[in-house]
Amino acid sequence: MAELVEAEYDWIKVDPLVIPWSDYDAKMNVAFSGGTAPDLFGGGLNTLPNYVQTGNLADMRAELGDDWDGWEDIPENIQEYTTYDDVWYGVLMCDLRPFMWRKDLFEKAGLDPDTPPSTKEELMEYAEALTEYNDDGKVEMAGFQIQTSGFSDQTLFSAMLMCGISDFWDENYDLTLLEPEVIEAAEYCKSFVDKGLCDYSEGIATTSFTEGLAAMTLNTACNELGNLKETIGFDNIGVSEPFMDGVNFVGGTIVCANKNSKNMEAAMLAYEVIASTKGCELAGTTAGFCPPRESALEAYVAQAPEIYEPIAEILPKAKTYGPLNPYFADFRQGAIMDNMEQVYYGKVDVKEGLANAEKAYKQLREERDANN
């Protein structure tokens, strides 16, 4: 990407800064405090509201202007997801979750390798057929990936879409975990564990599907496909739009600008290159993101049409968890992860676990507000 910018403007020198994701927020906050933050940088949907509250993010609609060609080229839903308090903060390089399955394992189980399940009932039936066990009865290959530890919210969100609800919280950031559809979704996820159709996911660095331990997934990100091509092979992988009306979660990296940049003119010229069709094509063909620009999708799909075309079709329908939430860390790390793990391990039932998550979130939110 640096080379692309420098080829367009030979007087601009780009100095890439690579920060490990585990240290990213801490190092960026230190850089903002010390006035040494990069001119342009990536941010996650979950951390964007917190970055905004530091006063360091540029209003990108104001910077790019109303005549920028991206407004007509990027789907409205993708623009909406990087908007907070009516301010748009940047282009989202999209990390979509299609439905993926192992064609070779479908054939082994006597299933049509070109026909994935089309309902949540079929998903359960297929999982029962695909799950493999060792001689001790332990799951060796999960029929369907359930994230029992770590980012369990991602699996739950996909199940929520199957049950007809698409928000973890409302416009006031109050959780909706005790809605009947959310309870149904959590019960559905737990049933895979109770029936022995998946193993517990602690210790899994990426996802069970990526590590060759699950036959189907709705939670493996499209930017893992480069690795999957090498480890499993595209001949053995099927990709389709999710059967939930083609809708699933979108995450990704937001290309943001430092409001206090000392090189704003050059930074904005570089930003336009990064966010251009060529820049988005590059993000799609090298980093694995689904390009947010419709004009960049042709090059993305051309890499392997049977793999990438279904992902491109998800883009204008993809959803996030609800309005960008300044209490997201409290929701994920402080509430849903621990309490869903308690549910999966049978320590509490689903409704109690979800109620405990709501209670923990409310307490953490009140503490955060009091400290601010």
Give the span between the Cα atoms of 235 and 103, in whole angstroms.
Answer: 8
Give the residue from 107, 312, 304, 136 showing the smallest Cα distance to 215.
107
- Angle between the N-to-C axes of helices 120-130 and 180-194, in degrees from 0 to 180, rounded to the nearest 10: 10
Reported confidence tier of residue 203, pLDDT bands at 50, 70, 90: low
Alpha helices in 1-119 (DSSP H): 2-8, 24-34, 48-53, 60-64, 70-73, 76-80, 103-108
Structure tokens at 360: 């923990």
| Alpha-carbon torsion angle 364, 370, 371, 372, nearest 10 | 110
Pair of tokens at residue 45? 């949907």
Q: What is the mean pLDDT of the chain?
A: 94
Scanning 195-327, the segments in alpha helix (DSSP H) are 225-231, 264-274, 277-286, 297-302, 305-314
- Whether residue 85 contacts residue 52, with contact meaning beta carbons closer than 8 Å, is answered with yes
pLDDT classification of 243: cutoffs 50, 70, 90: very high
pLDDT digits (tens, 9 = 90+) for 82-105: 999 999 999 999 999 999 999 999
Q: From the centroid of its chain, how far is CA 194?
A: 26
The answer to whether 169 and 322 are in contact (CB under 8 A) is: yes
Question: Where is 284: in which H helix or E strand?
Answer: helix 277-286
Instruction: Report all structural domains of the chain as residue ranges with CATH numbers, in order of start.
Output: 2-96+249-317 (3.40.190.10), 99-248+327-371 (3.40.190.10)
In this predicted structure, the answer to whether residue 49 has a pLDDT above a threshold of 70 is yes
3-state secondary structure of 369: helix
pLDDT of 134: 93
pLDDT score recorded for residue 23: 87
Q: Which of 140, 110, 301, 126 is nearest to 214 (CA)?
A: 140
For the segment 127-173, what is each residue's pLDDT rounded down to a tens digit? 999 999 999 999 999 999 998 988 899 999 999 999 999 999 999 99
Q: At 177, which amino acid appears?
A: L
Q: What does pTM read for this prediction?
A: 0.93
- SS3 state of residue 248: coil
Sheet holding 237-240, edge to edge: 216-217, 99-102, 237-240
Angle of CA points 124, 126, 132, to nearest 5°:
105
Question: Per 3-state DSSP, what percentage of the chain is helix, strand, and coil (rounded to 5)?
Answer: 50, 10, 40
What's the distance, CA 239 to chain centroid? 17
First to last CA, the chain: 38
Percent of the chain with pLDDT over 70: 99
- Alpha carbon of 59 to those of 33, 43, 53, 90, 93: distances in Å? 19, 14, 13, 8, 18
Tokens in use for 349? 């039932």
Note the pLDDT tens digit of each residue in 182-192.
Answer: 999 999 999 99
Which has the closest alpha carbon to 294: 315, 274, 309? 315
Comparing C-alpha atoms, which of 66, 64, 65 is closest to residue 270? Answer: 64
Bridge partners, residue 251, by sequence: 95
Q: Smallest Cα–Cα separation from 292: which of 282, 304, 300, 280?
A: 280
State which amino acid sits at residue 67: D
Q: Is the pLDDT of residue 29 over 90?
A: no
pLDDT of residue 202 exceeding 90, the answer is: no
- Which tens digit of pLDDT belongs to each residue from 276-299? 999 999 999 999 999 999 999 999
Q: How confident is the model at residue 26 (pLDDT cuts 50, 70, 90)?
A: confident
What torsion do the CA atoms of 327, 36, 24, 293 make, to the nearest 10 degrees? Answer: 80
